[in-house]
Amino acid sequence: MTDAAAPPLALSVVGLRKKFGDVTAVADVSFDIGRGERLALLGESGCGKTTLLRMIAGFERPDTGRILVEGSDITDLPPYERPVNMMFQSYALFPHMTVARNVGFGLVQEGVARAEIERRVEEALELVRMAELAERRPDQLSGGQRQRVALARAIVKRPKLLLLDEPMAALDRKLRERTRLELVELQRRLGIAFVIVTHDQDEAMSMASKVAVMDRGTIAQLGTPTTIYERPRSRFVADFFGSANILEGEAAGRLVRCPALGIDIKTDHAADAGDGRRVGVAIRPERIALSTHRPEGADNAAMGVVQALSYLGDRSICHVEMAPGLTLRAAIDTRHDQPRPGHGDNIWLAWAARDAIVLGD
């Protein structure tokens, strides 16, 4: 698998499984990350993403499967012998040590000379702009400062892989957005591959080069953020990653017959399942155009009655009843020159063939 000439993968996970008692936390997960790549494990709590991360760090032993870092098998190594470092959700800063001693802790364990430790601690603290606070204790720091110390502590040993467990969970929203960019910037400079666990899809999309959407212990889909948003493979991914209207129908070539809506939905790709199979069709709310008259030349169009309008500031969501029990959501922008549909109005919905995504399961 490891070609001598090609650089080995940063991380390679092969067939990992983990059960806790009767509960399967991780069921047969495999994936690779190239050097310098950023992978986000995205999912709801209990989907197995944290267990997966903890197996890579060495805190949980997989029941079966292997974990390779830069080509060497670390599955049987204890955490303190693995070339990976983790930034904990709680940061896990040692409360009885100063910032500098926290950051230097890992180097002390390695037996690095004292002068060298001092130099590298300072360097790491410079990187996260915390050098002035080196002698503070964790309880004298703000949440954002603590997070930067935790980050410095995790990168100071120059790990081959950096693990981030919900790194932004303890920060407020404004700080979160700024920190995401800083983290990615820092990662680019250092060139360390990272795996980030998060339940926040904005975070996954803005920080990761690849996203793995996890569901009940398996990876439902792995790909770039764009692929996963534009071409989700399953109802779960379409619904979880972003928001989607999902219609049920029957595949027929590049059409999906949708009796509930009363039309055949045109798509630009055929269902994998083949003709006659039950499939889903996902349509993103912001890809639906609204108009008072039947739109000319639209790939797909259908009429409904406006049921409710929720104003969200940057956009509004219009709930349109297409048939009894079938409501579609359409996003409309809130520029003042746009018409605002009113409750009870008849309205036309239109969307392009390429925005109707056929879902396998």
**Part in contact with another protein (CB under 8 A); list of ranges 18-26, 77-85, 249-257, 288-296:** 77-85
CB of 94 vs another protein, minimal distance in Å: 6
Report the alpha-carbon distance of residue 197 to residue 212 in Å, rounded: 10
Encoding tokens for residue 189?
A: 């400079």
User: Using the rule CB under 8 A, is 197 a contact of another protein?
Assistant: no
Report the alpha-carbon distance of residue 100 to residue 117 in Å, rounded: 10
Asked whether the beta carbons of 125 and 131 are under 8 A apart, the reply is: yes
**DSSP code per residue over 43-104:** --TTSSHHHHHHHHHTSS--SEEEEEETTEE-TTS-GGGSSEEEE-TT----TTS-HHHHHH
User: Using the rule CB under 8 A, is 90 a contact of another protein?
Assistant: yes
Encoding tokens for residue 114?
A: 């004292």
Residues whose CB falls within 8 Å of the CB of residue 73, separated by 6 or more in sequence, listed in order: 66, 67
* Cα 314-351-305 angle, rounded to 5 deg: 75
User: Using the rule CB under 8 A, is 157 a contact of another protein?
Assistant: yes
**Part in contact with another protein (CB under 8 A); list of ranges 24-32, 102-110, 237-245, 261-269:** 102-110
Report the alpha-carbon distance of residue 306 to residue 32 in Å, rounded: 47
Q: Binder to another protein among 63, 65, 77, 105 (CB under 8 A)?
A: 105
User: Using the rule CB under 8 A, is 106 a contact of another protein?
Assistant: yes
User: Using the rule CB under 8 A, is 20 a contact of another protein?
Assistant: no
3-state secondary structure 282-335: EECHHHCEEECCCCCCCCEEEEEEEEEEEECCCEEEEEEEEECCEEEEEEEECC
User: Using the rule CB under 8 A, is 72 a contact of another protein?
Assistant: no
Nearer to another protein, 162 or 331 (CB): 162
Binding-site string for another protein from residue 39 to residue 58, where x marks contact by CB under 8 A and - marks none: ------------------xx
CB of 116 vs another protein, minimal distance in Å: 15
User: Using the rule CB under 8 A, is 146 a contact of another protein?
Assistant: no
User: Using the rule CB under 8 A, is 88 a contact of another protein?
Assistant: yes
User: Using the rule CB under 8 A, is 137 a contact of another protein?
Assistant: no
Q: Which secondary-structure segment (H or E) carries 359?
A: strand 357-359
CB of 103 vs another protein, minimal distance in Å: 10
Q: Binder to another protein among 80, 139, 174, 335 (CB under 8 A)?
A: 80
User: Using the rule CB under 8 A, is 2 a contact of another protein?
Assistant: no
Beta-bridge mates of residue 49: none
CB of 57 vs another protein, minimal distance in Å: 6
CB of 86 vs another protein, minimal distance in Å: 5
User: Using the rule CB under 8 A, is 139 a contact of another protein?
Assistant: no
Encoding tokens for residue 119?
A: 């130099």
Q: Binder to another protein among 34, 36, 65, 79 (CB under 8 A)?
A: 79
3-class state of residue 155 by DSSP: helix
User: Using the rule CB under 8 A, is 191 a contact of another protein?
Assistant: no
Query: Which stretches of the chain bind another protein, using CB under 8 A?
Result: 57-59, 78-82, 84-86, 88-90, 92-96, 105-106, 109-110, 153, 157
